[in-house]
Chain A
């Protein structure tokens, strides 16, 4: 394969990943590594490095494109970024000493989880309770519009959420993904933040988390510009295009298709990890 052929294939695949990722709300980052590793036979560390840069690009692009932050809670996001960035550095260091085989198996597990979590529907009614003492002290409270009213909410189980966010950051640094699905799970499940606020706050945190591990990857020589260039441009264009289409398209069938793709990739990563094809 020549440089031009590689760039064209990686660009096309990343464009599709960014497009589907943005339509389904799962993010494109999660399929970049399997696409590069399984499809284009790129070394897993170069793939993770390129994926991290594309995650930063998508997050920055989305924030530049939207005029407002939506329902995101900046204090909550910033506070939890202390945990995710420390976790991300830890994950980036771990990545060097973890055998490719285990990275592939763990990655497969995360893909299967992302696919299943995107299919479930959310129930929630956590608003209107008295604020948690620690959350009140840290001002991790807010309100969001729902059916024409402003509903107040307050974060709960702050130490648990902080600890779990360290884990989300580690996963992000180890696998080069935004780990948005895990962040939403922590915010929504453990800290009982309303779902809309959780997804917006998670988007806000993804870029900063990825930067923390990208620094380590860069200094270790894992960021190969010839791999990262087509991937970043492809994902960025694809996700901006997806955000455009999102306003008119029906999302549900797209979600199902993308969830199936992700589940298959997850199974293939685990299979390749177990049979030692990637080491």
Chain B
């Protein structure tokens, strides 16, 4: 019977985490690119007016509305969905690091990762203005 060394398990988890992060990043880039191509195909001749700040509409500001818009094929919402995926990548990274520390039984740093995630969650999901 083969005894699995804990260090091997840790290494293999680390490797699969790197792969997950790589695919998330590549996926986010692809979604932004596809949305961008659609946007320029449909609105290439529209005037670009970004010199005064109006504020994006709700459809491009909150996660459920963005997902809904992207599902319906709106180009701007697809780009915004890609941006959301990109924002999720570093969060996923903190989760992975936290899991790594849990495997090492370093509870102090599992807690540190938890605090960082809580701050990021507050930033993305709180509804105060």
Contacts and interface: CB of A to CB of B under 8 A. Distances in A.
Interface of A: 1-7, 40-46, 53, 56-57, 59-61, 63-64, 67, 74-75, 78-79, 81-82, 85-86, 88-89, 92, 138-139, 207-208, 210-216, 218-230, 232-233, 236
Secondary structure type dominating chain B contacts? helix
B58 to A, nearest CB: 8
B21 interface: yes
B48 A63 contact: no
B38 to A, nearest CB: 10
Contacts of A60: 21, 24-25, 28, 86, 89-90
Contacts of B129: 219-220
B122 interface: yes
Contact of A6 (B24, B50, B84, B124): B50
A42 B51 contact: yes
Contacts of A210: 90
A233 B33 contact: yes
Contacts of B123: 85, 88-89, 92, 211-216
A1 B40 contact: no
A226 B125 CA distance: 23
Contacts of A216: 123
Interface of B: 18, 21-22, 24-26, 28-29, 32-33, 35-36, 39-40, 43-48, 50-53, 55-57, 60-62, 76-77, 79-80, 83-84, 86-87, 89-91, 93-94, 97, 106, 108-109, 112-113, 115-116, 119-120, 122-125, 127, 129
A4 B45 contact: yes
B109 A75 contact: yes
Contact of A225 (B21, B80, B89, B119): B80
Contacts of A63: 21, 25, 93
A64 B21 contact: yes
A7 B90 contact: no
27 contacts: A1-B48, A2-B48, A6-B50, A7-B36, A42-B51, A43-B51, A63-B25, A63-B93, A64-B26, A79-B109, A89-B119, A92-B123, A208-B116, A211-B87, A211-B124, A215-B87, A215-B125, A219-B62, A220-B55, A221-B61, A225-B60, A226-B39, A229-B36, A229-B39, A232-B32, A233-B33, A236-B29
A41 B51 contact: yes
Contact of B116 (A64, A85, A214, A228): A85
A187 B80 CA distance: 34
B129 to A, nearest CB: 7
B119 A46 contact: no
Nearest to A68: B18
B116 to A, nearest CB: 5
